[in-house]
Structures are given as structure tokens and as C-alpha cells.
A and B are shown apart, each in its own frame.
Chain A
């Protein structure tokens, strides 16, 4: 389909507008905002899709504001190369006419023919809505504003027909969807999202497991029940056997027989015990008699031994005492020798000390004399030093003072010279002796008076002479006086009469200081530790030497010398050695004596003890013999031995009697028969108890009806297993059905939308490479864009991407329609307003490519955006 001419009169804001020469391919209709682009699209929709007799709000919306005109729209277009002219006038005198190849129609038939030509459903009443009544043109003619879907609407069937014309019928339609939903629902009943069983299968499995558990439990209980029954049977059999064999009675009889045999054996045992007791008593008495006899013999022997011992110990004690006395004498002698040697040594030591003392006194005396002379010399030097120091310290004049004084003197001399030079020199040369008084003071005549100031001279004989020297003498005089005063004050301050004197004093001070230093050194040489120390040493020595010598030392006062002292020392050492030897001898003698004395005491003690022992034993033996003499004891032994022999005979006879009765065997038999009886009774009691318990227990279990329940469970188990198998079969089939349907549907969808995808693909490659448009196979609306394998929903795309994808899809769908022989032309009103320049440029390529087969009208206010893209028509 190609639109060639549009002419609009009195339609909304358009009074009259005509576009002619619309070409195949791209046509850019440029107009400013409010120039009526959207109105033009509305007029186009009206002429094609609105009934010319439409009234009400729809008709009014076509009228200019406040007008009562007759909106008229005329269009020339071509379908399959055949030209058509369509004119519709609305509101006032509505009219419609359609002229085509070989036909001319007017009035209502025009609308029917248009619906036929364009494949849309004209509205019954009221206005035409793009998505309901305008067929594919609701899709292909797009007004300003971006929608979040294509607005396929009523165009869907036409599109579907177009697609099916290409790929054949592939969808299952409503029925297919319902069957798929039912299959999905059934599958979900059996399987969860992770393909794990759920619902009936799980319930059946649980049921089977529960039944199996219960069955196991019941089987175990029945096993136990059966075992208990078997046990009960065994018990009853045992009890029967007891009864049949009359075991208890037989055991009781056997016990009686054994008891009697045992009583007989016990009696003989008692007789043997008595014989044993008699024999034991005889044995005891014999032993006692023998013991007494033996004890007596032992006592006699002990007495003899004690006597011998006492005698021997007395002899030993005597011998040892003699030896001790001899050794005591030797000890006394050694002690006397020691005493003598000690005296000799003491004498020698005293002499040596006296000589040494005398010799020391003589040497000390000489030392003291020398010390005294040193002290006297040091003290003399010290005195000189002190004097020199006094001299040095007597004057305070130092070099600085002298320099200051010399300067002051020079200043005074200079001032005085200046004054004198300026002063009046007066020489008194009186005639005779005349008194001259200067300022009241007598002035010796003959002396030149130098006057530098006003002065009153009283010249005897003359009178007063007032002198007033001029030329600054007064100032010079004051200066000279001041200098004089300074010098004078300085001399006075330092206590010297003159400067020369001060210089002499300074020299004298230096000399004294040198002398002090020299004397200090001399004193230090004589008394390195100070004079006082030296003096104290002298005095101490003097006092020591003042003490008189002892008498012994005094004897050697004059004779003592080194040789004598040496001789005395040698004598002393010799006497010491003699003394030591004597001492050792004495100690050895003392030790020998001590040993002998100790031994003698011990032996004496022993001898005394032996004698005491001998006396005690003799007394004991004597005492015993007075009670029973030795022969009596011997006769008692003989009598006891005779009684013992008789008792032994009786015992042997009792032994033989007991052995004949065999009490051990009798006891064993009794024990065995008693145990047998006990065991039988215990066994019977235990069997009875167990039987009673088992019967009670079995009765209790029997009430539960294990067998009934077990058979019931088996039946239920069979039914549940069958149920489970059936559920599993249905589950597997449900899954298979659902999967098969899904796969088939997916494959069908792919085929169904194939033509659209094929046409979209080259456009999309230009604008969004490596992406894919995903469409709903049912509504044919855009679901979204798949980029990098991720589906982005259409609504989530940017405005720009959304309008680009929508335009591309519209172009592809228009192409599908065109290819299927449906009229298709694209009108885009203010499209691509959100597209950036780069993509706009690419969209130009898209549009150019689409325009090879489609007529595209672009209404825009942005001429430069589409400049040169196609034929331009200005409003």
C-alpha cells in the first residue's frame, strides 16, 4: 500500500492542508510543533476507519474549536499498484466516496469495502479504537508518545494469518494452552520444582513405609509371641516329665536314706573325738613332767658354769688393776719432766724480751732526736713564711691601682702645668722683711707665687693688693684643683702618700709573695704531713721514751745489741722444742694409764656381777630342791609315759571304727540327695512361676489380635504398594506428557515467530548487535530484549531502546503483512525523539532498508534529524 496524496479541510485545527506526491519508500513530513502533524494522522485514521456518519463525541472531536463546519478528508492511495481515491466528510452532511480500479462506491458501502480492503473490523457504534477496530493499522500507524507495548490489538489475527501463511498452522491455540496447563497442573501434583516427588507419591511412600514398619513390629511381636508359646509348651512338657517320673518323691526318699547313714557315721566320729581328747591329755601330762625334769638339770648345769665364770673374772680384774697402777707412776714422771722444760722455756723467753726491749729503746731515742731537729727547722721556716705572708697581705696596692694613680698624677701635673703657664707669676721681692699674706695666709717671700685666681694679697707695708688674673685662669685653676683633688682622693683611699710610694709598695708585695711560695715548699719538704702532725709525733715519742724501762730490760740497757738478741732467740727456740717433747711424752703416758684404769674398772664390775649371779643360782637351786628333789621329778616322767601308751591304743581303735562307717561318702551322698531335692523343688517352682507369667503375658498379647492385624496390614500393604505403583506410573506419565508438550510448544513457537525474527534480525543487527527480540507467541507483543543471554523485559528498557525496538518490530511486522499480501504502510509520528544521535544515524539505515519494500511516512518537527533521508514535505 502506498499513500500518494492527503487533503484535509476543516479538521480540528487544520483549515486546509494538502500533501501531494508522496513517494514509495521514505517520506518526511516536516512541521513545527502545533503545525498539525498529529491532527493529520488523526484525519488519516478517521478517513480510513471511522464511519462517515459517526456522531457524538467522535464527530465533535473532528470539528475545529467552536466551529460548525464539515471536516473533510481525501486520500489517494495505491494497493498492489492500483490507484484508489477516498473522500469522507463528517458531521454536516456526512458523505463518503471511494473510487478504485473499475469501481466507484459511495455512502455506507465505502466503509465495508475499506474493511475488506484493509482487513479491519469497523466499529458498530461510536468511534474507532486503534487496538480494537483498526486492524494492523493500529500497529503500523503510531502516534506521538511511546507505549510500553506495540499495541498489536485487533491486528493480531491478521498478523497471525500472515505468519501462518508463511509457516503453516503450528500453534495449539486455546485448546493447546488448556491442555498444557492441565498437564502442568497434573505434573505439579506429583513433582515439585526441583523434580522431586511430592503429593500422592510421597504420601503413598510414607504409607507403605509406615505399614512396613508396623508389619515389622507386628512380625517381631508375633515372633516373640510364638517363642513364648514354644517356651510355654516346653515348660509344660518339663512339668509333665516331673510328674510322670515322680521325681520329687524319689528325691525325698533318697534324702531320708542318706540322712540315716550320715547319723551313724557321725556317732562314730564323736567316739573318735573323745579318744583323741584323752590321748591329747596324756601327751600333755607327759610333756609337762619331762619339762620339769629337764628344767632342773639345766639349773644344776647353770650353777656350775656361774661358779667357774666368777673365779676367772676375779683373776682378770686383779691383773688389770696392777697394770693400771704401774702406768700411773710413769705418767707422774712425764708430768715432772714437762714442768721443768716449761720453766726453762719461760726463762729464755723473758731474757729475749728484755734484750729486745732495751735495744728498741735505744733506737727510739736516736729517732726522736732526729725528729726534733727536723721539727725545729720546719717551725723556723714556717715563721719566716708567716712574716712574708703578713708583708704581702699588709699592702692592698695592686698593679691596677698603681696604673690608676700614675694616670691621676699625670693629669694633675698636666693641669697644674697648664695653670702655671696661664697664672700670674709673682715674685715677692720686698724691701726688707715684709710680710706677705695671700688671702690671709702668710706667704714666704722668695717664693714665686703663681696665681690663677682672684686673690687678695696683703703686702705688708703696702697694703692690700687685689689681683684678678684674666684669660681663663680661673677655669684652669678649677681644673688643676679638680685633678689634684682626684689624685689626692686616690692616694688617700689607698693609704699611700705618693704615687712613688705606691709603686714601691707594689714591688714589696710581689717580693713577699715569692718568699711565701718558696717557704711553703721548704716546710712541705720537712713535714710532708704537716708541722702539727710532726710535732705530735715528736711529743708522743718523747712521752713514750719518758717511761722507764722494766728491771730486766734495764739490765741490758747498755749491753743490748743485735748479736745478743740473736743468741737469746736461739736459746728460747731450743727450750720450746724440749718442752713440746716432754708434753707429748706426758700425753702418751696419760692415755696408757686411762686405758688400763678403764679396763680394770670394767673387769672389777664383771667380777662382782659374776659373783652375784653365782650366788643367785645357788639360792634358786637350793630353793627348788627343798620343794621336789631331782629323783621325784624323774619318777613322775615315767608314770606319765605309761598313761600315754594306754591312750594311744584307745585312739587307734576309734579310728578303725570310724573308717568302717565311711562318713565322707555318707556326707557326699547326703549332700547330693539334698541338692537334688532342692533343685527339683526350685525347678518346679520356677517352671510354675514362668508358666503362670507366660500365660498372663500371652493372654494380654492375645487380646491385641496380632494375627488379625498382621494379615490386615499385609492386605493394606499390598493395596498401598499397588496404589504407589499406580501413582508412580501416573507421575512418570504426567511428567513425560508435560515435558513432551512443553518441548513441542517451544519448537512450535520458534517456527511460528520465525518470519518475524528473520525480518527483525538485520534491523536489530544495525542498532543493537548481539541481541534478540523476544515476542509473546500468543499476543505477538514484545516481551523484551535478550542481551548476552539475559532477557530484559520491554518495560525495563530505556525510552530510547524501547522506541527503537518498537520501530524495528513494527517494520518487521509490516514486512510480514506486506509479504502476505496485506496492505501495509508505516506512519511514525514524532518517532525516535528519545534516540541519541549515534543510534539515530543507525536508525536511518534501518528506515532506509525498510523503505526498500515499504512506504514509510515520518511526521517530525525536527527536519534536520531526517534531512536527506527521503522526500521531504513541509506543512
Chain B
């Protein structure tokens, strides 16, 4: 018996993006719900049996009621069952986004898997075994009961859990709510749908992270996808298709300007492609540039700020290296030159406590001078 479903997780609807000010941040917030709508459309298009959300559908248990309602409305595009697993961000506490959702009026096709009991909405074709988190950090493995859970003969056993697979995730990720890597095998699961890791990843046999469908941070992983899964039973291999659904591209550029010019930075920005409006860029600059180049870079960055959805520049490691030409341009004689020479001496003195201020002062007077020019 074939069972087709979408595996998704970590929507984190309601994430505020406080560090992205103004409309850009607001857009990022709104996009997370629009992406949910996109998933609903996809579910309908692909005529799946269910959409399984493996935790953290909401960014926290105390998102606004409005956010919950908008999310429920975004689900309308798919009338089949939606199974929501409480994750660490939206744990099934005594009072949670789930209890609130029930009070706000739960559509009949939405199942909140907040108790460790098998779910069967598919007439015995499949059974979903959920491992909801009742707390943000569970000490015990919540999936342990899968092994004991009985399922009707021939039904696909789909595990639904949220946490980190012990010792398998890259980059030293948080080891909370641990799940044994052989859980799928030991519990005879057709597929173990996991949430928590934001990139799409097959972490163990029949064990998958779908990642977040809408990227929410600068991290090099395969985010912005959902898994379309098809399984025929406990023994048959699963078919997993990774579908891109995300809207915004989160790009982190870490550049060192070593030739005294800003060309490298500008080139990288040019390479972002033909839809910069979808890019959320973090630009970290180091190295050094002349004052002329600095001025050029700042002008260019102002332009890029307007073109990109959001540009976050960290140039604290980018040092000004005024050239003789820079300084001559300000003045070659007179008291201004005297002042410039003094500032330069201080800027070059590692022992000077106001070294950074002197460097910036040089840039300021240069910009003043160029502004006049």
C-alpha cells in the first residue's frame, strides 16, 4: 500500500527577525506564512496523503494569536490531513501554541500530535507514530515507545520526531532531545521524519531531516526544501524527492580585501545573480583599503542596500590605509596637512589608545574634503 506525504519541519512561523529593521524584516516574517501556503499548494498538486510537520511549526509558544490564525488559514490549500508535532520551540506545554490553537478553532483536517499515541487517518494504510516534546528539552528519548507500538498488518509505520540524532549532525549542533540513529531500524519504521536541523539531510537509513522550507539564517546547509516521500511498506525502500519551496536566499559573504581596493567585494555582490531582491546578504569585510577605495566602497554599498532585500555589512575588520595620494588630496600644506599627518601618525601607532578614532578621523576628513570637491 503506497503512502505519499510531504515531510517538512521548522517553519518557525512568527520568527521576528529583529535584527532586520523595517519593511525587510516584516517581509521576512510574512514570507514564512506565504511559504506555508506554497507547501499547501504543493501538497494539493502532488495529491499527497498527508503533510507531516516534524516540529517547530511555530517559532515559540507565545507567538501572537494572529500568527496562529494566519498559519491555519495558510493550510487551507490542502484539505488532506496535516499532522503537527510539537517541537522544542513549540513544546506541548500545559499552555502552548497547540492548546491555543484548539481554543481558536481547529480545522478537522489538522491533527495535533501532542501525545505519544499512534495516528491513523488513512484507513489502515499508514500509521504515524509521533514523539511530541512536552518540554523544550526532554531528558529521555521520546521515540522509545515506537518499538513497542503495534500497527495494523501492512500499514506503513511512519515515525515523527524532533531533535538531534546522536552524534551525527554536522557542525557540533545542539545535542538536545537526542534520538538514536537506529531508531527507524529498531522500530521497523518505513520512514522517520525528523525536524530540528534546518537543512535537508538523510542522516541515517530511512531517517531524514527535511530542513526548514524557508531559510531563516546565514548557514550553509540545504534549507528551503520539503521532502516528498513515497513508501510502500515497512520493507520497501522509500522514495524521497527534495523540492525547493523557499523564497529568500540567505547569502553570507566573508571577504578579505588584500589589494587595497574594494573590487573583490563589488565583484562578489555582482555575482549574486539577477534577482537580488530575493537575497538577504551578510557581508563581512576584512583587510584594508585606501580612503579613495573606502569612499568608492561606501557609495557602492549604499547602492546594493537598495537593490538587495537586506544587506548587513560588518566592516569592523576592514581597516583604512590612507595612501600618500589620499592625504595629498586633502591638503599638501598648511595646518590641515599638519593635522592629517598627526592623525596618521596616531593611526599607525599600535600603542595609541585612540588609534581607531584617528583612523576614522582621517576617513572623515577625507570624506569632507571629497564632499567639498
Which residues of chain A have a CB within 8 Å of any CB of chain B?
A: 169-173, 175-176, 178-180, 182-183, 186, 222, 225, 228-230, 232-233, 235-236, 694-695, 698-699, 701-709, 711-719, 729-730, 732-737, 740-741, 743-745, 747-749
Contacts and interface: CB of A to CB of B under 8 A. Distances in A.
Interface string B323-343: 000000011011111110011
B368 A711 contact: no
14 contacts: A176-B335, A179-B336, A232-B94, A233-B93, A235-B94, A702-B64, A703-B64, A704-B62, A709-B16, A715-B20, A716-B19, A716-B21, A732-B354, A737-B343
A744 B18 CA distance: 45
Contacts of B18: 711-719
Contacts of B269: none
A171 B338 CA distance: 10
B18 to A, nearest CB: 2
A72 B371 CA distance: 56
B271 interface: no
Contacts of A711: 15-16, 18, 59-60
Given A708-B60, A711-B59, 7 more contacts: A228-B95, A229-B96, A705-B64, A708-B59, A716-B21, A736-B343, A737-B365
A745 B358 CA distance: 17
Nearest to A169: B333
A176 B331 contact: yes
Interface string B16-28: 1111110001000
B357 A736 contact: yes
A183 B365 contact: yes
Nearest to A701: B62
4 shortest interchain CB distances as A-B pairs: A715-B18, A705-B64, A707-B60, A172-B334
Given A736-B354, A745-B335, A179 B14 contact: no
Contacts of A743: 339
Interface in B304-334: 330-331, 333-334
Contact of B360 (A172, A707, A733): A733
Interface string B259-271: 0000000000000
Q: Is the interface of B mostly helix, strand, loop or mixed?
A: helix
A707 B335 CA distance: 56
A183 to B, nearest CB: 7
Contact of A719 (B19, B63, B336): B19
B103 interface: yes
A312 B137 CA distance: 115
B64 A178 contact: no
A743 B365 CA distance: 15
A747 B65 contact: no
B235 interface: no
Nearest to A737: B361
Given A708-B14, A747-B338, A172 B64 contact: no
Contact of B336 (A172, A703, A718, A747): A172
Interface in B337-373: 337-339, 342-343, 354, 356-361, 363-365, 368-369, 371-372
A412 to B, nearest CB: 150
Contact of A705 (B17, B67, B343): B67
A813 B170 CA distance: 82
A627 B63 CA distance: 106
A171 B335 contact: yes
Given A698-B95, A713-B18, A732-B357, A705 B334 contact: no
Q: Which of A233, A236, A718, A733 has the most CB of B within 10 A?
A: A733
A736 B335 contact: no
A719 B62 contact: no
B61 interface: yes
A745 B338 CA distance: 8
A596 B79 CA distance: 138
B100 interface: yes
B62 A706 contact: yes
Nearest to A221: B62
Nearest to A703: B65
B65 A733 contact: no
A65 to B, nearest CB: 53
Nearest to A697: B95
A702 B65 contact: yes
Given A699-B103, A707-B60, A711-B18, A183 B364 contact: yes
B130 to A, nearest CB: 19
Contact of A186 (B60, B339, B357, B364): B364
Contact of A175 (B67, B94, B336): B336
A709 B67 CA distance: 12
Contacts of A179: 330-331, 336, 365, 368-369, 372
A195 to B, nearest CB: 15
A699 B334 contact: no
Contacts of A747: 335, 338
Nearest to B17: A715
A169 B364 contact: no
Given A232-B95, A708-B62, A170 B334 contact: yes
Given A703-B65, A707-B14, A740 B361 contact: yes
Contacts of A169: 333-334
Contacts of A740: 339, 342-343, 361
A733 B354 CA distance: 8
B339 A170 contact: no
Q: Which of B334, B337, B342 has the most CB of A within 10 A?
A: B334
Interface in B81-131: 93-97, 99-100, 103
A726 to B, nearest CB: 9
A222 to B, nearest CB: 7
B157 to A, nearest CB: 29
A707 B56 CA distance: 14
A138 B358 CA distance: 45
B16 A173 contact: no
B62 A705 contact: yes
Contacts of A171: 334-335
Interface in B1-45: 14-21, 25
Nearest to A704: B64
A719 B59 contact: no
A615 B352 CA distance: 137
A783 B64 CA distance: 69
A345 B16 CA distance: 144
Nearest to A237: B94
A734 B94 CA distance: 55
B345 to A, nearest CB: 10
Nearest to B61: A707
B335 A741 contact: yes
Nearest to B13: A708
Contacts of B99: 695
Nearest to A728: B357
Nearest to B89: A707
Contacts of B359: 733
A176 B16 contact: no
A744 B338 contact: yes
Contacts of A730: 360, 364
Contacts of B65: 702-703, 705
A708 B16 contact: yes
B62 A702 contact: yes
B357 A170 contact: no
Contacts of B339: 737, 740-741, 743-745
A411 to B, nearest CB: 145
A709 B103 CA distance: 22
B202 to A, nearest CB: 31
Contacts of B333: 169-170, 172
A172 B62 contact: no
A694 to B, nearest CB: 7
B170 to A, nearest CB: 25
Contacts of A175: 331, 334, 336, 369, 372
Q: Which of A173, A713, A737, A747 has the most CB of B within 10 A?
A: A737
A169 B61 CA distance: 72
A179 B359 CA distance: 17
A843 B331 CA distance: 44
A707 B339 CA distance: 51
